[in-house]
A and B are shown apart, each in its own frame.
Chain A
Amino acid sequence: MSKQNRSLRQLERRDVLKAGLVLAAGGEALGAGYAAVPDAFARGIYAANREGLHRDQVLVMIQLAGGNDGLRTVVPLQDNRLHDLRPTLAGASVSGALELDAQVGLHSALTGIKALWDQGRVAIVHGVGYPDPSYSHFESIRVWETGDPSRRQVDGWIGRMLTRGYDSAGHPLTGCACGATSTPGMMRDVGSTVAVIQDRQSYGFAEDDLEAIVGSVYRETPGIYGALFDTTVATLRHTIAELDQALPVSQDGSDTQPSYSQSPENQLAQALKLGAQLIIAGTGVRLLHVTLDGFDTHYAEKDAHDQLIGFLDESVSGFYAELAQHGLASNVLLATWSEFGRRPGENVTGGTDHGSAAPLLLIGDPVRGGRYGREPDLGRLDGDGNLTHTVDFRSVYQEILDVHFGTDPRQILGGSFEPLPFLKAT
């Protein structure tokens, strides 16, 4: 099928689905009952706001959960202080690095991403963080999710974009967390509907009665969780219905393609596989969130981190190759994020404790390959022994919002940040 045909079919499906939903949702949307349920998850999802985002761009946020060690991901090759700070970790890390230039190399397991780098499809942003960093996983995750270091904002930055830029009620698969069971904080917003699919095989009702029952029961549910319940169950029903059309679960398993990874432990490979299937099937998915867990490497870091970085590499490589094979890679941008980097100095147990700034990887055809920002100075650690960030993480979000999605970043981020031109102008 040509690319043009696909996008046409895609459009039709979207329109059909939306028309169906508007009819089905009419009563709920118009019912004055919502005014009688004045809770946080206001029923704003039915108010379509289609300003701004017109292009069919896809963003995949890859969470490296636990705090990824930036100094073992993008390795400084010339700085001897690394060996002083990390007597057991630095040696193999530096000698095995895949050299990008005289200054830095990628972790030895990032062979697939190195190949994409050689094609100009990888941007590295050095020293990303935020002022007065928190060393708490949960506080720092929230900062990254909301895009707000002052910790007042509660909605996720992608959730805000979803609500502002897309008619999510008409198209509940616009935002999707793959391989997860709970909604990622980055995608949460009072007005956004987000699909959460752990795996395609189990994403269906066990019996027809269930669909009918929950479809009729989850309406105008009172209480503080009422609207969240109703929105969630409506999203569930509509996304199952759409997937049954667009991506049916095969009865005989013949459409099961090989995974990107040999290891059943590689949760990221399975999640990205599902993400690729959603894109290829023409579901119209735009914002994907996937997670690779285990980066909190306080203890015996070397083997654990090597394995995780290998998982990242094979998953991303497989995902890119599959989209490219279908001629769908040109609009898809992948971005890694992690709540913090790790302490430059290793601890007595061969691991590293919570740190601050770390590099991010941006991967895909929309990227203008190269290194951006400035590497933090290993000679100028702060009083706690941590790096000082050189790039505000919101500069990265800003570039994605502005260039990839063509929307006004100030509307989402509440301010302007240092420009960081890692994407090709469109």
Chain B
Amino acid sequence: MDLLKRWPTRRAVLAAALAAGAGSAALGVLTSRAWRPFPADRSPGGWPSPLHTERGRLAHLLRRATFGVTQEAMEQGLQDGFDRTVDRLMEQSAEPAGLISPSDPAQGSMLALNDLQHWWLRQMLSTPAPFVERMTLFWHGHFTTEYQKVGYGSPFIYWQNLTWRRLRLARLGPMLREVTIDPAMLQYLDLSGSDASDPDEPPNENYARELMELFTMGPGAYSEADVKAAARALAGWSTPPPNATVDVVVDEQSQATEPVDVWSQPLTGVFDPGAAYSRKVAFLGRTGRLSLDQVIDQILAQPATAPFIVRKLWRHFLSPAPAADAVRRLAGAFRTAGYDVRALMRLLLKSPESVAPDSYRALVRSPVEFMVAAALALGAEPDAAAGLIADYADPAGQALFQPPNVGGWPGGASWISPAEMLARFNFASALLDQVATPPPAAHAADLHLDAVLSAPTAQRLRAADSDRQRWLVVLTSPEFNLK
């Protein structure tokens, strides 16, 4: 392997490999354990896949559906087997500690962005149910909402996180109903305040368009007239007014207080019939005075909806390029199951495509997934690590509650830019400074990288002369940044 240090030699090696028709000649494999040698079922130019072994499949699943491989999760998985492990993920459940103390409801109206980010990251780092967090993160990017527009001084985006985690595996229909009247969403996409009572005044179209374009059907599956019709049919829903008044200290010295209107508990949007449209609309082939439920029923009746959701979940959990026939198959099953997301996720994760050799390392870990996985691998203290991740999330490209726009995070190649990779590298360095005693690095490549390393990574790992350096190689490697 040392020969590879000099490029003419590497050239010769590669040329020879090419001549022999081996696509992955540049790969070195740590020899310490299991599933070696690799069979020939590898994609051209891709990583050699360990997915023909139970351990390989479990590690692959844990990286995609949780925040990476832990010794405990792997042992449990080997006991249960792959299928049962998927079922167990679907059953996972754990609530985060509340961010707002019931005895101090005013807190909810003073939530700082950093408090919210820290709260969620801490939950990701300490939860026994990481799949709950991964699904909540998926929906946060899909039905996305941004802190600043929702507004400082309201607990709405915090409530939204609680709602998305409750609905993480629900049926799409009820989910869309709650999404539409979620106070943070009402604020973010401007449905709140829209008014269609005067047929001559156009209502606000923002939510109506994105409901179809980004949340359910995709562009091209509806007309501009459908956008206008939905904007009319949905007008009248607004954010709930504050439901309590508390005395808040406004001057520390004199302890003077002022009464402040607050929301003391999570509420949904309220409907004002006076702002509603009183006539018939023609929406996606149905004409009438349509209610919120009827708007959603029409969307669920469209052939574009199930494949759209399947493709979005596929790109998040399986691979960047969903296969058309598999999408058809899963979309059919999704509709038959009454749009049950839990049933769809089970089918997706157990599908042959999810453990096909070419799905191995076919996805880029998002910045938050990467950082949480790194912190868990090092056994970092959750509070301190959450603070560090919150600091690096923005330069790495994924500040929670601050998506780039209404499309959420596009993922895939967009996670790979000079600025974003730099933030990942510098985070790894800062994390290693923070964690006083990381676990021994000897087995890190086995546990976290399946011992499938490129020749340069393998070489650099062998050359490392301290555990800190070994961890730095593992965490910054392309292998660890993929899933």
Closest chain-A Cβ to B167's Cβ sits at a distance in Å of 25
Residue B92 is within 8 A (CB to CB) of chain A in the complex: no
Residue B162 is within 8 A (CB to CB) of chain A in the complex: no
Residue A181 is within 8 A (CB to CB) of chain B in the complex: yes
Given contacts A222-B47, A232-B421, A348-B194, contact A36 B24 (CB under 8 A): yes
Residue A371 is within 8 A (CB to CB) of chain B in the complex: no
Residue A249 is within 8 A (CB to CB) of chain B in the complex: no
Near A by CB (< 8 A), chain B positions 443-461 give: 454-457, 459-460
Chain A interface extent, by class? 35 or more
Given contacts A38-B44, A299-B193, contact A220 B456 (CB under 8 A): yes
Residue B413 is within 8 A (CB to CB) of chain A in the complex: yes
Residue A26 is within 8 A (CB to CB) of chain B in the complex: yes
Is the beta-carbon distance between B7 and A348 smaller than 8 angstroms?
A: no
Residue B213 is within 8 A (CB to CB) of chain A in the complex: yes
Residues of B within 8 A of A196 (CB): 417-420
Closest chain-A Cβ to B427's Cβ sits at a distance in Å of 9
Residue A335 is within 8 A (CB to CB) of chain B in the complex: no
- A220–B460 Cα distance when bound, in Å, is 14
A-binding segment of B11-19, B96-104, B153-161: B11-19
Residues of A within 8 A of B190 (CB): 298-299, 349, 351
Residue A102 is within 8 A (CB to CB) of chain B in the complex: no
Choice from A202, A214, A223, A347 contacting B482 with Cβ under 8 Å: A223
Closest chain-A Cβ to B290's Cβ sits at a distance in Å of 19
- A27–B14 Cα distance when bound, in Å, is 11
Residue B26 is within 8 A (CB to CB) of chain A in the complex: yes
Residue A247 is within 8 A (CB to CB) of chain B in the complex: no
B-binding segment of A104-112, A135-143, A408-416: A135-143
Name the residue among A194, A202, A221 with the largest chain B CB count within 10 angstroms.
Answer: A221
Is the beta-carbon distance between B193 and A349 smaller than 8 angstroms?
A: yes
Given contacts A32-B18, A384-B224, contact A225 B422 (CB under 8 A): no
Binary contact readout A8-46 vs B (1 if CB under 8 angstroms, 0 otherwise): 000000000000000000111011110111110000000
A-binding segment of B302-310, B325-333, B473-481: B473-481
- A232–B422 Cα distance when bound, in Å, is 10
Near B by CB (< 8 A), chain A positions 211-269 give: 213-214, 216-226, 228-229, 232-233, 235-236, 239-240
Is the beta-carbon distance between B460 and A298 smaller than 8 angstroms?
A: no
Q: How many residues of B contact A (CB 8 A)?
A: 79
Residue B198 is within 8 A (CB to CB) of chain A in the complex: yes
Residue B369 is within 8 A (CB to CB) of chain A in the complex: no
Binary contact readout B291-332 vs A (1 if CB under 8 angstroms, 0 otherwise): 000000000000000000000000000001000000000000
Binary contact readout B207-221 vs A (1 if CB under 8 angstroms, 0 otherwise): 001000100000100
Cβ-closest chain A residue relative to B461? A217
Given contacts A348-B201, A349-B204, contact A220 B15 (CB under 8 A): no
Residues of A within 8 A of B425 (CB): 205-206, 210, 214
Residues of B within 8 A of A66 (CB): 405
Closest chain-B Cβ to A367's Cβ sits at a distance in Å of 30
Is the beta-carbon distance between B460 and A217 smaller than 8 angstroms?
A: yes
Is the beta-carbon distance between B469 and A209 smaller than 8 angstroms?
A: yes
Residue A182 is within 8 A (CB to CB) of chain B in the complex: yes
Given contacts A31-B11, A206-B429, contact A225 B209 (CB under 8 A): no
Residues of B within 8 A of A32 (CB): 11, 14-15, 18
Residue B234 is within 8 A (CB to CB) of chain A in the complex: no
Residues of B within 8 A of A353 (CB): 202, 204-206, 209
Closest chain-A Cβ to B448's Cβ sits at a distance in Å of 15
Residue B195 is within 8 A (CB to CB) of chain A in the complex: yes
Closest chain-A Cβ to B259's Cβ sits at a distance in Å of 27
- A134–B220 Cα distance when bound, in Å, is 9
- A298–B455 Cα distance when bound, in Å, is 53
- A228–B414 Cα distance when bound, in Å, is 10
Closest chain-A Cβ to B41's Cβ sits at a distance in Å of 15
Binary contact readout A346-371 vs B (1 if CB under 8 angstroms, 0 otherwise): 11110101100000000000000000
Choice from B196, B397, B418, B476 contacting A235 with Cβ under 8 Å: B418
Closest chain-A Cβ to B169's Cβ sits at a distance in Å of 27
Residues of B within 8 A of A183 (CB): 414, 417
Residues of A within 8 A of B250 (CB): none
Residue B407 is within 8 A (CB to CB) of chain A in the complex: yes
Cβ-closest chain A residue relative to B473? A213
Residues of A within 8 A of B476 (CB): 210, 213-214, 217
Is the beta-carbon distance between A293 and B405 smaller than 8 angstroms?
A: yes
Is the beta-carbon distance between A195 and B430 smaller than 8 angstroms?
A: no
- A65–B406 Cα distance when bound, in Å, is 12
Residue B395 is within 8 A (CB to CB) of chain A in the complex: yes
Given contacts A198-B395, A223-B45, A232-B418, contact A354 B195 (CB under 8 A): no
Near B by CB (< 8 A), chain A positions 304-363 give: 345-349, 351, 353-354
- A233–B457 Cα distance when bound, in Å, is 14
Residues of A within 8 A of B7 (CB): 26-28, 30-31
Residues of B within 8 A of A26 (CB): 7
Residues of B within 8 A of A210 (CB): 425-426, 428-429, 472, 476
Given contacts A31-B10, A222-B45, A351-B190, contact A205 B426 (CB under 8 A): yes
Choice from A220, A226, A232, A384 contacting B417 with Cβ under 8 Å: A232
- A177–B418 Cα distance when bound, in Å, is 10
Residues of B within 8 A of A39 (CB): 45
- A299–B190 Cα distance when bound, in Å, is 7
Residue A169 is within 8 A (CB to CB) of chain B in the complex: no
Residues of A within 8 A of B428 (CB): 210
Choice from B14, B209, B423, B459 contacting A31 with Cβ under 8 Å: B14
- A136–B220 Cα distance when bound, in Å, is 10
- A26–B6 Cα distance when bound, in Å, is 11
- A197–B417 Cα distance when bound, in Å, is 9
Closest chain-B Cβ to A235's Cβ sits at a distance in Å of 5
Residues of A within 8 A of B11 (CB): 27, 30-32
Residues of A within 8 A of B472 (CB): 209-210, 213
Is the beta-carbon distance between A228 and B416 smaller than 8 angstroms?
A: yes
- A229–B204 Cα distance when bound, in Å, is 42
Residue B25 is within 8 A (CB to CB) of chain A in the complex: yes
Residue B364 is within 8 A (CB to CB) of chain A in the complex: yes
Residues of A within 8 A of B195 (CB): 348-349
Given contacts A182-B417, A348-B202, contact A138 B407 (CB under 8 A): yes
Residue A203 is within 8 A (CB to CB) of chain B in the complex: yes
Near A by CB (< 8 A), chain B positions 219-235 give: 219, 224, 227-228
Residue A51 is within 8 A (CB to CB) of chain B in the complex: no
Choice from B429, B457, B482 contacting A207 with Cβ under 8 Å: B429
Closest chain-A Cβ to B438's Cβ sits at a distance in Å of 15
A interface vs B, CB < 8 Å? 26-28, 30-33, 35-39, 65-66, 134-139, 177, 180-183, 194-198, 202-203, 205-207, 209-210, 213-214, 216-226, 228-229, 232-233, 235-236, 239-240, 293, 296, 298-299, 345-349, 351, 353-354, 384-385
What are 13 contact pairs spanning A and B, CB under 8 A? A27-B10, A30-B7, A183-B417, A195-B418, A196-B418, A198-B395, A210-B426, A217-B473, A218-B456, A219-B456, A296-B405, A351-B190, A354-B205
Q: Which 3 A-B pairs have the closest CB atoms?
A: A27-B7, A236-B418, A298-B206
Could you list 8 further interchain pairs (A-B, Cβ under 8 angstroms) beyond the known A206-B430, A209-B469? Answer: A213-B473, A217-B476, A232-B416, A236-B421, A296-B206, A296-B405, A298-B190, A298-B205
B interface vs A, CB < 8 Å? 7-8, 10-11, 14-15, 17-18, 22-27, 44-47, 189-190, 193-196, 198, 201-206, 209, 213, 219, 224, 227-228, 320, 361-362, 364, 394-397, 404-407, 413-423, 425-426, 428-430, 454-457, 459-460, 469, 472-473, 476-478, 481-482
